[in-house]
Amino acid sequence: MEKMGMCIYLDKLKVKEYKKLHKNCPNTIRQLLKNVHVHNFSIFLKEPENILFSYWEYSGNNFEKDMKTMADNGDNKAWWKLCGPCQKPFPTRKKGEWWASMENVFYNK
């Protein structure tokens, strides 16, 4: 099981919208996450800085394939179209990232 953390800014004018979107996250998105071996997915918001932090666990054996499956899914494309305008990527993120990857520096089992 691989643990992953990522972060991104949330547009201060879109906080209410983003919270509402995720309160009503479609079941198709929830099921898709399971289908691509993503578990315990959580998103946290730090206000007033408006930093989103996501945590999830990946249990599959082909991360690139599973992420492509997720990205190519029509329901997910529609979901990202709703959520994307609310987010503001970090300028220091790696090439090809939207959410910036974070290094896991401590874990206590």
Is residue 109 in some structural domain?
A: no
- The yes-or-no verdict on residue 57 having pLDDT over 90 is yes
Number of domains comprising the chain: 1
| Beta-bridge partners for 45 | 52
* Average pLDDT along the chain: 97
Is residue 32 in some structural domain?
A: yes
CATH of the domain at 60: 3.30.70.100
- The yes-or-no verdict on residue 81 having pLDDT over 90 is yes
Q: ∠ CA 109-56-100 to the nearest 5 degrees?
A: 115
Range of the domain at 41: 2-90
Global pTM? 0.91
